[in-house]
Structure 1
Amino acid sequence: MVEIPNSLRSLFSAPIKEQDGTYIVEVPSSEIDFEALSADETYRVAILESPVSTESSVQQESQRAPSRETASHSSSGPPVEEGEVRDVTIETVGDQGDGIAKVERGYVVIVAGAQPGDEPTVEIEQVQENVAFASIVDSNPRAF
């Protein structure tokens, strides 16, 4: 499993496109909307090999609107669905102060207000290809 450093600000999938002799990686608007990144700033980028090998498949995937069907538990999509309630373990805290948990296949779930070691029950509120955002519905489900 790949270790995710505390300095990781954003994780998403995008095709690399050639334009006038340079290469462009399109940043999803949600990364700006959720303040993971800011426009007109410079960032260090890591490129990881995608299991999707054809450019057309990547383009089709990035152009699809999120839906309950694309957020199914199949091995090709995110392992969580919007509205799903589940227990997670917070492993670290991101730069924005939110807790970070990993679930099946290393999929990242961002939990506002959680700290490392917390084991809250969360509700998945938004699902993206590589990350989901959740809120705490029970902060200590294992306490008696």
Structure 2
Amino acid sequence: MELSDELLCLFSAEVTEDSDRYVVEVPRREVETGAVDDGRVYRVALIERDDAGGDPASTDGPQPPVEPGEIRYVEVEDLGKQGDGIARVERGYVIIVPDTEVGDRVKIEIAEVKSNFAVGEVIDDAV
């Protein structure tokens, strides 16, 4: 299956019934890392789970599009809740870039990689 580069986050969740509606809960980490913002409206796509693959928690999702030590040129698009710069790369994957402002174009080295975000350190701010 091909995923759009506009994809902000990807996670598995159950659809649950709540009175007269159904709910898909967004994991707290997606909001805390800046992938999505509380109160904003997003388009949501639902993809049926492949039962032949077994437990969805044990299946590997898409791998992060960056690796530790990788050098990237990014543009800071937003600021996170702690004031750190937020850049997005392939599939909307978030890179947190401390000590930057919206609109900064910087050369970074990926210092830490998690499944849904990475941290990059500025190595050249004159890009």
Alignment identity in percent? 32
TM-fit CA distance, 1:115: 0.6
Which structure has more strand as a fraction of its residues? 2
How big is each residue's C-alpha offset from its partner over 1:53-92, in whole Å with a ceiling of 9 and x where there is no partner? Answer: 2474531147xxxxxxx9xxxxx31111111111100011
* 1:134 matched residue in structure 2: 120
- Normalised by the size of structure 1, how large is the TM-score? 0.54
Indicate conservation of the 8 Å contact 1:100/1:108, yes or no. Answer: yes
For residues 94 and 107 of structure 2, what CA distance do their matches in structure 1 show? 15
* 2:21 matched residue in structure 1: none
Aligned pair 1:85/2:71, yes or no? yes
- Normalised by the size of structure 2, how large is the TM-score? 0.60
Question: Higher relative contact order by CA 8 Å / sep ≥ 6: 1 or 2?
Answer: 2
Alignment RMSD (CA, Å): 3.6
For residues 54 and 133 of structure 1, what CA distance do their matches in structure 2 show? 32
* 1:111 matched residue in structure 2: 97
Indicate conservation of the 8 Å contact 1:13/1:129, yes or no. Answer: no
Query: Which stretches of structure 1, 4 residues or more, deviate above 6 A after TM superposition?
Result: none
Gaps of 5+ in 2: 1-5, 17-24
Q: Which residue among 50, 57, 60 is the counterpart of 1:59? A: 57
